[in-house]
Each structure stands twice: as structure tokens, then as C-alpha cells.
Amino acid sequence: MDISLTPTNVHVNTYIPDDIIVFSILSKLSLKSLKRFACVRKSWSGLFNDPTFMTMYSKSFLTKGQSYYDDKSLLLYMIVDGEDKYSLYSLSGERFENRFKLDWRKCFLENQDDQLPVSWFEILGFVSINGTICLRGGSNGVKKIILGNPTTNEFKVIPSSFCEHGNCLSHFSYNHLVGYDRVRDDYKVIQFTECTPCNPKDFSKNFWEIYSLRSNSWRKIDVNMPNTYRYIEQVYMDGVTHECWGKRGRRSFLGSFDFSRESFVRTPLPSYVDDCFDIAWKHLVILNGSIAFILNYKKTSTFDILILGEVGVKKSWTKLFTVGALPACLRYPFIAGNKGKILFGRKDGELVWFDLNTGMIDEIGVKATKYCCMMLFHKECILPIGGIYN
């Protein structure tokens, strides 16, 4: 006797609603492409207001694995009280169990006979393609800028630009950016320099200049880039360094410098970011290969995550996640890892992974000081330089 699980006289409905098919396809697009597709059909323009679609899209966004992410290698910079105030650590392994304190003072020695004492240092930038980092340090008014890899102890002392421009009584440089020119296979450092002329009748010389590791020299560049704003944090991705720029009484914006084109682009933040007085902090990260801002609200302890669809386009900012309430033990985010994991500092100083998918907190057994910053080693991405934990 033949037994049929589905009687032949019963019609099986295999029809799938168009909305589900469209949602499934569009949810896999990048935010930039999705914004452009919204112009194709009128009904698609409202997708960002559809809670069903946004839930589907956010889940798809978090499940996209980024091959350049490596959650197993971390560079940790800390400032502590005491004689040995500045520290640099290399952490690796599934739970960062391999921990090495790096001798950062040796990085500033130009040769074996160099006896210049270096009492302090700071991180100016980090390009994670091969762990290249830019440091500035010194003592008693003498400063050096170096570029290299702390784990291999290979460093290059960058020559001062002061002698090249000449006729200056003094000079001061700030607003440093570090990046990789993928077209010319060259590491570069950019800075804004103010020169006081020897002759009081001469005008001060203020300009942007860029250093090339290949030529081992500085040169002036003509770039429409502000120098009066204070950048708060910076992240690096695909040959471009992005910063959060802000100044009291002015609108905040994302500033992006392309090291291959040597050009600068502004992307204004949504107006409510500056207008809302309830925002406790905002933090710039790279989340699954996208520029993102994390906004924390004081009253509710919730936080929003804004994703940038296209550099230079203000309307491309999209609030993709609202997470709340933030566990009371978490204090401040530092970096974002793979598939929606964010590394937070707890109030007791412990570093923990917070999973956006599950809301779970995973301790990693590392305790940071109040003032620190950290960087994940990525294949083509850097996270972040700013991160002051206070």
C-alpha cells in the first residue's frame, strides 16, 4: 500500500509574498546601495521606517563576517600613576592570554649610541595592515616622531620638518594623521604646522604638510582641511582616516582624509547629535566594515548605533540599532570586533566583550587603567586612536 504524506487532492501553497522576497534581497545590500535602491520604487523609500525590514536588515548586518577582522590580537596603551607611567602591551590569543609588555623607549633610539632620555610617549596613529604605528615621545622639550612596528622593534625616526622650511624662530605641529597610500605603497603622516618667523615683520607661516616614508621627507600640501577644530577620535579603513571633529558652539562632523588622493571630505553628523543634551558620550568605531557612531543617553542608559552609508552625504547616516538599557557595570566602549561584538571598559576597569546579538557580556581577564586606548590588528582596518576612558 502506497502511503502519501501529502494527499494529491490537496493544493500546497508555495506562494511567497513579494514583500518577503524583496526584504530578503534588500537586507543583504550595503547601506550605500540600499539608500540608492530606495529611489527606484516609491514603496522602497519607506523601508527605513518599516520595523520588520529594519530588524531583518540589522540582523543581516551583524552576521556579515569581515575577513580583515582579527579579534585575537590587541595593542594596549595605558597611562598609570608612578615612575613607569606609560606602558604598551601586545595581547594575542582567543582570550588575549598571551601578554607582552613592549619596551617602547627602545623604539625612539636612532642608534645604539643614542642616549636621549624619553620620559613620555603618545600614539598619533595606527595602520593595521602590518601593525604599523606612529608614536611621538620625548623629554625636556625635545620630541621625536617615529613610525614602525612595536612587535618586531623595527622603527624609523621621522626627520623634523623644521630645518626644511628654514627662516623660522620656532614651530609647533599638531593634528597628526597617519595612514597608508595603497596606490603608491607608502606610509604617510600629515600634520598642521605653525611657524614663527625670525623676522617679526614677516607673517607667520601656517600650513598642512605630509611626510612620505618612501622619500623620507616632508612637503607642503594644499588641502581644504580645518585646523581650529579639535578631533576627538579617529579610525582608519581602506586608505582613509576618519575623525570626529568638534568645537564648542559649532556643529560636529566626520572628517575623512584619503592618503592616496591627499584630499579631505566632511560629513556632517545628524543635527540631533549636537542638539540633544541627553547624550552622555559619542564614540567613533568601525563596525563590521562600516563607519559607526555609538551614542549613549543619560536618562535611559540606552545607546544608539548610527551607520554611515556614504562619506560626504549627511542623509546617509542611519540609526541601525537601539540597545538598552546598557548594563550598569559598563562604562565606555573602546573598539568593535567581529559580528557585533564591542569591547567595553567596566567601572572596575575590567575589559569585556558586549554582544549586540545576545546582550551577553564576556570577560577577557584584562584590566585597563583609567586612561588608555587600544587597537585591534586588522587586515585592512584600524580601530581607534582616541578612546579616553574617563
Whether the Cβ atoms of residue 270 and residue 282 lie closer than 8 Å to each other: no
* Cell numbers that stand for 282 in this block: 559619542
Whether the Cβ atoms of residue 179 and residue 151 lie closer than 8 Å to each other: no
- pLDDT at position 222 is 92
Whether the Cβ atoms of residue 253 and residue 266 lie closer than 8 Å to each other: yes
- Cis before 292? omega within 30: no
- pLDDT at position 82 is 64
pTM above 0.85, yes or no: no
Rounded to whole angstroms, the Cα distance separating 103 from 233 reads 25
Rounded to whole angstroms, the Cα distance separating 263 from 330 reads 38
Whether the Cβ atoms of residue 149 and residue 131 lie closer than 8 Å to each other: yes
Q: What is the pLDDT along the chain (390 residues), one digit of tens a residue?
A: 443 333 444 444 444 445 666 677 777 777 777 777 666 666 666 777 777 777 787 788 777 755 445 556 777 888 777 667 788 888 877 777 888 888 887 777 765 556 656 788 888 888 766 678 888 888 777 788 888 877 677 888 888 875 455 566 677 788 888 889 989 999 999 999 887 777 666 666 788 999 999 999 999 999 988 887 666 678 888 889 998 887 666 778 999 999 999 999 999 998 888 777 777 788 898 888 889 998 888 888 888 899 999 999 998 998 888 887 788 888 888 888 777 888 888 888 888 988 888 888 998 888 877 666 766 655 433 333 333 223
Amino acid present at 348: D
- pLDDT at position 42 is 67
Contacts of 184 (CB under 8 A, 6+ apart): 214, 260
- pLDDT at position 323 is 84
- pLDDT at position 122 is 85
Q: What are phi and psi of 271, to 5 degrees?
A: -55, -35
- pLDDT at position 71 is 55
**CA Rg value for the chain:** 24
Least Cα distance to 282 among 128, 179, 386 occurs for: 386
